[in-house]
């Protein structure tokens, strides 16, 4: 029988990649397709949750399932929408790939190519860390809210991926961190983006052993939701 471990729970999930405009026609973006985030939204809904999906740029169609979907473009828009929705949520899952930097300003009109002018220089400024901010807001309210982060590490980081991920879990302060196991089986970082399958380790702030999950992004989503259900049960 289907377990409905999230009945009556409000779950907010972010998906896709933020786009940071340079001018009215150009942007800086990333390769997130939204597949993993959408799979999570459907898995949470199947577990009985009321789901709000906050979707940045997607490479795939939104499911027709009766999800509440809010579309955003930039990291700042994603932050505003997620903070508002999170204020009344039991669970927040940050599966979106948020741009760490944005152009310091967007030109009001298309940047022109002129032979007589110097090549343009783009200055980037830091975007807020939305996940860390959600944790601070939750803690300030003293709310019993479960916050789940994702991590996609690039191959150039030194040392053990697990050590690095544990440090990130500590730094971000979330309850669970789902670490994409990139760099295994000759997989490059770009391999997880847009793919149909994923291989993850689910790390827990309480120090319990990491839980591996792999297979389709739907299977990984079910494993993450199962872990969330176990944690929520422990709240009560």
SS3 for 191-216 is HCCCCCEEEEEEEECCCCCCEEEEEE
The answer to whether 180 and 200 are in contact (CB under 8 A) is: yes
Of residues 131, 135, 146, 228, which one binds ligand PMT by CB under 6 A? Answer: 131
| 36: contact with ligand PMT by CB under 6 A | yes
| 74: contact with ligand PMT by CB under 6 A | no
Q: Which residues are catalytic?
A: 30
| 40: contact with ligand PMT by CB under 6 A | no
Q: Does the annotation list 175 as a binding residue?
A: no
Name the percent of the chain in helix, strand, coil, to the closest 5.
30, 25, 45
Give the tokens for residue 186: 């000759």
Q: Please report the beta strands in the chain, taking only residues with DSSP state E, as ranges in sequence order.
A: 10-15, 20-23, 26-28, 50-55, 68-71, 91-94, 101-103, 124-126, 146-151, 176-180, 197-204, 211-216
| 86: contact with ligand PMT by CB under 6 A | no
For ligand PMT, the closer CB: 41 or 96: 96
Q: Does the annotation list 100 as a binding residue?
A: yes
Of residues 10, 35, 138, 222, which one binds ligand PMT by CB under 6 A? Answer: 35
For ligand PMT, the closer CB: 119 or 160: 160
Instruction: List contacts with ligand PMT (CB under 6 A).
Output: 32-37, 75, 94-98, 100, 127, 129-131, 149-152, 180, 192-194, 217
Summarize the annotated binding site for CTP as residue ranges.
Answer: 100, 110, 128-131, 150, 168, 172
């Amino acid at each position: 029988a289907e377990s409905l471990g999230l009945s009556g729970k409000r779950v907010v999930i972010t998906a896709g990649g933020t786009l940071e405009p340079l001018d009215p026609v150009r942007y800086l973006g990333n390769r997130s397709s939204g597949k993993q985030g959408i799979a999570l939204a459907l898995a949470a809904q199947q577990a009985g949750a009321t789901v709000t999906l906050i979707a940045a740029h997607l490479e795939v169609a939104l499911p027709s399932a009766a999800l509440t979907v809010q579309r955003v473009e930039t990291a700042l828009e994603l932050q505003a929408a997620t903070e508002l929705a999170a204020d009344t949520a039991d669970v927040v899952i940050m599966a979106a790939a948020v741009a760490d930097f944005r152009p310091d300003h967007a030109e009001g009109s298309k940047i022109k190519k002129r032979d007589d002018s110097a090549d343009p220089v783009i200055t980037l400024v830091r975007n807020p860390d939305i996940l860390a901010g959600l944790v601070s807001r939750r803690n300030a309210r003293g709310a019993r809210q479960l916050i789940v982060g994702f991590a996609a590490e690039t191959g150039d980081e030194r040392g053990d991926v697990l050590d690095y991920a544990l440090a990130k879990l500590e730094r971000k302060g979330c309850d669970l961190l789902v670490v994409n196991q990139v760099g295994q089986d000759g997989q490059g970082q770009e391999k997880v983006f847009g793919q149909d399958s994923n291989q993850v380790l689910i790390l827990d702030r309480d120090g319990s052993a990491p839980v591996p999950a792999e297979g389709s992004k739907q299977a990984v989503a079910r494993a993450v939701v199962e872990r969330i259900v176990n944690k929520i049960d422990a709240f009560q």
